[in-house]
Chain A
Amino acid sequence: MEIVYAVLVLGALAALFGLALAVAAKAFEVKADPRLAQIQSCLAGANCGGCGYPGCGGCAAAILSGKAPVTACAPVGAEGAAKIAAIMGIEVASGERMVAHVRCNGGCDAQKNFEYRGVSDCLAATKVCGGDKNVCRYGCFGFGTCVAACKFDAIHINERGVAEVDREKCTNCGACRAACPRKLIDAVPYKQKVFVNCSNREKGPGVMKVCARSCIACGMCERTCKFDAIHVIDNVAVIDYDKCRNCTMCAKACPRSAIEPIPTAEERERFNAAQRAAKQAAAEKAAAKAAQSDSAAE
């Protein structure tokens, strides 16, 4: 008999709590916007965090509340953004496709001042006297913290020991940018072909010693550029991607092979010859002009 009593009391207690919860659920109901689930289904679903929100759910909520643009999810691209815009009932501002790019090309050409044998992680390496490449305090370690961060298999350590982005696979989610302890990774337009692959902000002579492929802020590129698109800022050349026309003249002018695409010896020779010829022509012209003004004065 007692067992029946126990079951009854406990059952009653459970029923009471159940009822209270049911009432509370109605009383405290939060109406979820049906668009939330729709938007979330349009997102990449990788929870990469590239949008800056905690996972795809957070991003969907931010888009819904208008805090994030419909293009917030880089991985789904323009197509996905258009779908989300349709759900939200707004026009999508079409953005140019961007990809990540690593601003270092030093790798095996950068000097090491000791051999680092710790955890194969860039952040860990920075904790040991600034890392084995602390001769250059700006370069890529090549331990692949960004590779591990990438959910799309789009960044790898190349044969030179430097992280390199696979532009076709890259979705510009920003995970590698956040992971890199040296902040070497930029977002660049997909169409862009010319890059300065050095980030060392030290003065020329110092940089020259630490890495064979480094920007020494000589300004050759700046003088060569016809479009005012490359400038030496803080001792490192920076390309203005809005102005750059991808003519690759700066890459050919760079004496340190710090600008991609690195010219072949033949290309460089031809470029130098052209520069010499142009200089000679300018000198001749100036001389002729001087002679002319001389004769006019007489």
Chain B
Amino acid sequence: MSVTTLLTIALGAILTNNFIFAQFLGICPFLGVSKKIDTAVGMGAAVTFVMGLASAVCYGVNALLQAAGLAYMQTVAFILVIAALVQFVEMFLKRYVPALYTALGVYLPLITTNCAVLGVALLNVQNNYNFIESVVYGITGGLGFLLAIFLFAAVREQLEFADTPKAFEGFPIALVTAGLIALAFMGFSGLQVW
């Protein structure tokens, strides 16, 4: 493992294999909380935090399952870990960082159901990442999510005033927009790190 490997993982997670635009994970919060830039960035930051933490904890849990010969129970165990983790983070923030807690509001518990978080845990196992690689993949994957939701929210804020055809108003045009941004992200697919 070298710095180059980590850089490759990071660039892949943020741009080429962006969780939303290339892997289509975490679409629910991506569409749900992208109406305003402020809340979108809050959500992105919270997801980044939880993804990084989940990668670290799931690495340990996975090692435990492997040792017990129960690797096929990964998904269930990871969901358990993520749910518990989000609960714990919520309690912790409420006690020690109430400002951030109120800023994130309802989005914090909602991260439990964000499949990008579960995705990062499963992909870590699939790619045979070690501990550091897992954490880097988790955090940069979250940053990719943050970038995606921020860009999308910025476009959607402008869309509010666009003269959209009646049939396209609201979600349809948002989905078209998401598709176009995903297309643009395909442009990163040739990116390589030497």
> When chains A and B are docked, how far (Å) is the Cα of A21 from the Cα of B87?
8
Which of B41-49, B91-99, B148-156 sits within the interface?
Answer: B91-99
Cβ–Cβ contact B88 & A24, under 8 A: yes
- Of the candidates A6, A18, A25, A28, the one whose C-beta lies within 8 Å of that of B73 is A6
Contact at A30–B95, with CB atoms within 8 Å?
A: yes
A9, B70: Cβ atoms under 8 Å? yes
- Would you call B184 an interface residue if the criterion is a C-beta within 8 Å of the partner chain's C-beta atoms? no
Chain A residues numbered 10-40 whose CB sits less than 8 Å from any CB in chain B: 10, 13-14, 17-18, 20-21, 24-25, 28-30
Alpha-carbon distance between A28 and B95 when the two chains are bound, in angstroms:
6
A49 to B170, CA, bound (A): 24
Secondary structure at the B interface, as helix, strand, loop or mixed, is: helix
Residue of A17, A25, A28 touching B80 (CB-CB under 8 A): A17
Question: Which one, B61, B95, B161, B163, contacts A13 given CB within 8 A?
Answer: B61
The tally of CB-CB contacts under 8 A between chains A and B is: 47
Determine whether B84 belongs to the interface, using a CB cutoff of 8 Å to chain A.
Answer: yes
Tell whether B68 is near chain A: CB-to-CB under 8 Å.
yes
What residues of B have a CB within 8 angstroms of the CB of A119 in the complex?
Answer: 161, 163
A215 to B80, CA, bound (A): 68
Check: A118 CB closer than 8 A to any chain B CB.
yes
Q: Tell me, yes or no, whether B6 is within 8 Å of chain A by CB.
A: no
Chain A facing B: main interface SS? helix
Interchain CB contact under 8 A, B73 and A17: no
**Of the residues B64, B77, B91, B163, contact of A25 by C-beta under 8 Å:** B91
B37 is an interface residue with CB less than 8 A from chain A: no
CB neighbors of A among B137-194 (8 A): 161, 163
Residue of B whose beta carbon sits closest to that of A124: B161
Closest A residue by C-beta to B92? A28
Among residues of B, the one whose C-beta sits closest to the C-beta of A14 is B80
**Shortest Cβ distance from residue A158 to the other chain B in the assembled complex, whole angstroms:** 26
Known: A24-B92, A28-B91. A10 touches B161 (CB 8 A): no
Q: Is the CB of B161 within 8 A of A127?
A: yes
Is B7 on the interface with A (CB-CB < 8 A)?
A: no
CB distance from A112 to the nearest CB of B (A): 19
Partner of B94 from A21, A30, A124 at Cβ < 8 Å: A30
Q: How far is A25 from B95 in the complex, measured between Cα atoms in Å?
A: 10
Q: How distant is the Cα of A20 from the Cα of B87 in the complex, in angstroms?
A: 11
Question: How distant is A36 from chain B, measured CB to nearest CB, in Å?
Answer: 13
Q: Would A10 and B91 count as touching, CB distance under 8 A?
A: no
20 contacts between A and B (CB under 8 A): A6-B70, A6-B73, A9-B73, A10-B70, A10-B76, A13-B61, A13-B77, A17-B81, A17-B84, A18-B84, A20-B84, A21-B84, A21-B87, A24-B88, A24-B92, A28-B91, A28-B92, A28-B95, A29-B95, A119-B163
Contacts A9-B73, A10-B73, A10-B77 known; 9 new A-B pairs at CB < 8 A: A6-B73, A10-B70, A17-B80, A20-B84, A21-B84, A28-B92, A28-B94, A30-B98, A119-B163
Q: Which residues of A contact B (CB under 8 A)?
A: 5-6, 9-10, 13-14, 17-18, 20-21, 24-25, 28-30, 118-119, 123-124, 127
